[in-house]
A = this chain, B = another copy of it.
Amino acid sequence: MFQIDFASREPIYEQIYNSVIKLASAGVIKSNDKLPPVRTLAGQLGINPNTVVKAYHMLENDGYIYSTVGRGSFLTDKLSKNSAQKIMAIKEFKEAVQKAKLFGIKIDELLEIISETERGGESVD
């Protein structure tokens, strides 16, 4: 479910953080769902448990998950499928398209950028 790009400049703990948001946004995981235990996820990804801990702490700090010793880490409802953040992202994308148009950037260029991003980005499934 989680996938890490070790070549990326983006820190692993941040990739995990983003993965949780992506998975929640895509509806793959939902409120109150349990995340993999730190040791388990670390094992699956072949990384150090501390790195997972760091990501989980960030998520908890931001109110996206809550953790209890002995039970595990669970999604809050802050990351429901149609969150305000998703709406914001769409809005910002629209603005970026407008601005690009304003400066005479061709549609083909935008499409090219999107497909580049697609190739470069990590897949989440």
Contact = CB atoms under 8 A, between A and B. Distances in A.
Interface stretch (A36-44, A50-58, A66-74, A90-98): A90-98
Main secondary structure of the interface of A (DSSP, over half): helix
Contacts of A111: 111, 114
A103 B117 contact: no
A25 interface: yes
A118 interface: yes
Interface in A74-106: 82-83, 85-86, 89-90, 92-105
B93 A113 contact: yes
A26 to B, nearest CB: 4
B110 A93 contact: yes
User: What is the count of identical protomers in the complex?
Assistant: 2
A93 to B, nearest CB: 4
Contacts of A95: 96
B90 A93 contact: no
Nearest to A94: B113
A30 interface: no
Contacts of A26: 104
B100 A90 contact: yes
